């Protein structure tokens, strides 16, 4: 199994309520998709069979956001598209769906990716449709509801914090140190312009006194904190009593999008295209919902086996940084040296646009592999509900 990656592009990642506060997810995706097409080497749209995108906080007024986004990007209406919702792994599911379709011979060239706008997520009022009859209604935060385990009515963070502490024994000090290192790596990468070739700038409209003024061009990730340190991280207050998760060593909601094309080797040859890298294996897994870390381990094993490689042959990793402890647990499980992991920083520094995160990580890893001249890399991401997906990326 070997599928070419073409035209990788991502938007900058915006802080929750930051630069993209008023930018809807479809417009972030539109910009990434347009950049992907321009970078892919494709001369027209005729060879695109289908488009698959991930999105978690799905807007009620933008159903099937992938379809809306490709039309905004100028794709012909004859090209179909659909959207996957699988929480954090949504865009990785989108990628593997396209791969599975190509394996069965359904098509030879797909656009894939994901988008998220946590900042524009609405509040909802259940029961309002039929009226409350002199009673009060409750305004529910859609983002908060997304992070509650539906079966147990507990915060996802609380479940993960408990398993990291009680089962995997990851200490607070290590999580804080790793989180600070993520910011340090990302800041160094920013200064060295490592993200420049990945990112397509986003134009944000601005108003003053009700009138449009000069727009802002956002071209850099917004969340990197160059002065974050283990000492500062240690001052953060835990979310839950007795657990060690804080707003420094745990994911932050964010806004962003990423996309690229996947094609068969035959299609690449026929169209005389130049791949950036290849996907040579992937692995799914599902475990008990209270322990998504175990799912991450299984997906990594499955992906390596399907790619026909050993874990120690993989030279660079984009590992799940939803929680610092999750990354550290995976490093411990597979004896992965820290210098191989998230070499340009991860979600703890950049932010975590939920449904787009897998595609963003894949775009980052492709550029890491190419820039550092590595042969093999792995993307691994876990999700609420005890699921995970990993991809193995090859330079050739």
Query: Tokens at residue 166, please?
Result: 């009680």
pLDDT of residue 211: 80
Position 283 in a domain? yes
Residue 153 has pLDDT above 60, yes or no: no
Give the mean pLDDT of 291-295: 93
Band (pLDDT 50/70/90 cuts) for residue 156 is: confident
pLDDT of residue 151: 54
Give the mean pLDDT of 362-385: 97
- Counting beta carbons within 10 angstroms of the beta carbon of residue 375, is it exposed (0 to 12), middle (13 to 18) or buried (19 or more)? middle
Query: Tokens at residue 278, please?
Result: 């290849």
Query: Tokens at residue 51, please?
Result: 């488009």
pLDDT of residue 179: 98
pLDDT of residue 80: 98
H or E stretch at 337: none
pLDDT of residue 154: 61
Position 145 in a domain? no
Residue 392 has pLDDT above 60, yes or no: yes
Give the mean pLDDT of 187-202: 97
Give the mean pLDDT of 70-85: 98
Contact 280, 393 (CB under 8 A): yes
Position 128 in a domain? no
Contact 360, 67 (CB under 8 A): no
Each residue of 92-102: pLDDT tens digit? Answer: 999 999 999 99
pLDDT of residue 278: 98
Query: Tokens at residue 90, please?
Result: 């949504």
Contact 53, 65 (CB under 8 A): yes
Domain of residue 53: give its range. Answer: 3-121+154-394
Nearest partner of 166 among 325, 298, 311, judged by Cα: 325
- Residue 269 sits at φ, ψ, to 5 deg, of -65, -45
Q: Distance between terminal CA atoms of the chain?
A: 13
pLDDT of residue 235: 97
Band (pLDDT 50/70/90 cuts) for residue 7 is: very high
Give the mean pLDDT of 225-234: 97
Q: Residues with Cβ < 8 Å from 170, sequence gap 6 or more? A: 164, 244, 324, 325, 328, 329
Contact 51, 292 (CB under 8 A): no
Band (pLDDT 50/70/90 cuts) for residue 148 is: low
Q: Tell me the longest C-alpha to C-alpha distance in the chain.
A: 68
Position 230 in a domain? yes
Give the mean pLDDT of 230-238: 96
Position 127 in a domain? no
Residue 135 has pLDDT above 80, yes or no: yes
- Residues 376, 382, 82: CA angle, nearest 5 degrees: 90
Domain count, the chain: 1
Residue 298 has pLDDT above 60, yes or no: yes
Position 48 in a domain? yes
Give CA–CA dist 314/239, Å, rounded.
35
Nearest partner of 255 among 122, 118, 86, 348, judged by Cα: 118
pLDDT of residue 169: 95
Position 200 in a domain? yes
Each residue of 14-63: pLDDT tens digit? Answer: 999 999 999 999 999 999 999 999 999 999 999 999 999 999 999 989 99
For position 298, which CATH number holds? 3.40.47.10
Give the mean pLDDT of 172-191: 98
When mean pLDDT is compared across 237-251, 329-343, 346-360, the lowest value belongs to 237-251
Position 71 in a domain? yes
pTM of the model: 0.96
Residue 66 has pLDDT above 60, yes or no: yes
Each residue of 308-325: pLDDT tens digit? Answer: 999 999 999 999 999 999
Residue 152 has pLDDT above 60, yes or no: no
Each residue of 253-286: pLDDT tens digit? Answer: 999 999 999 999 999 999 999 999 999 999 999 9
Residue 346 has pLDDT above 90, yes or no: yes
């Amino acid at each position: 199994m070997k599928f070419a990656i073409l035209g990788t592009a991502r938007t900058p990642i915006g802080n929750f309520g930051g630069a993209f506060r008023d930018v809807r997810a479809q417009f972030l995706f539109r910009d990434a998709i347009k950049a992907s097409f321009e970078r892919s080497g494709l001369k027209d749209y005729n060879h695109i069979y289908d488009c698959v995108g991930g999105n978690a906080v799905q807007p009620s007024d933008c159903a099937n956001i992938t379809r809306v986004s490709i039309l905004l990007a100028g794709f012909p209406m004859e090209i179909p598209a659909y959207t996957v919702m699988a929480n954090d792994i949504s865009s990785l599911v989108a990628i593997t769906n396209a791969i599975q379709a190509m394996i069965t011979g359904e098509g030879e060239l797909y656009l894939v990716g994901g988008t998220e706008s946590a900042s524009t997520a609405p509040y909802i009022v259940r029961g309002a449709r039929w009226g409350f009859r002199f009673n009060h209604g409750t305004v529910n935060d859609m983002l908060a509801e997304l992070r509650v385990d539906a079966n147990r009515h507990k915060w996802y963070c609380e479940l993960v914090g408990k398993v990291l502490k009680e089962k995997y024994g990851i200490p607070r000090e290590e999580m804080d140190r790793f989180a600070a290192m993520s910011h340090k790596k990302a800041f160094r990468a920013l200064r060295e312009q490592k993200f420049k070739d990945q990112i397509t700038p986003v134009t944000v409209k601005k108003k003053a006194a009700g009138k449009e003024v000069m727009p802002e061009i956002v071209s850099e990730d917004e969340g990197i904190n160059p002065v974050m340190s283990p000492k500062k991280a240690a001052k953060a207050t835990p979310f839950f009593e007795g657990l060690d998760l804080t707003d420094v060593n745990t994911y932050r909601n964010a806004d962003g999008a990423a996309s690229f094309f996947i094609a068969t080797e035959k299609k690449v040859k026929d169209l005389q295209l130049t791949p950036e890298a290849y996907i040579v294996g992937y692995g799914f897994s599902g475990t008990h919902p209270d322990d998504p870390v175990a799912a991450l381990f299984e997906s990594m094993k499955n992906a390596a086996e399907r790619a026909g490689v050993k874990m120690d042959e993989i030279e660079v990793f984009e590992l799940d940084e939803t929680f610092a402890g999750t990354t550290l647990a995976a490093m411990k499980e597979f004896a992965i040296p820290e210098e191989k992991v998230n070499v340009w920083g991860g979600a703890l520094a950049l932010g975590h646009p939920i449904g787009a995160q897998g595609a963003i990580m894949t775009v980052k890893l492709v550029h890491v592999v190419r820039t550092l001249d590595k042969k093999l890399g792995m993307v691994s991401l876990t999700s609420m509900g005890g699921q995970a997906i990993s991809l193995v990326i090859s330079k050739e």
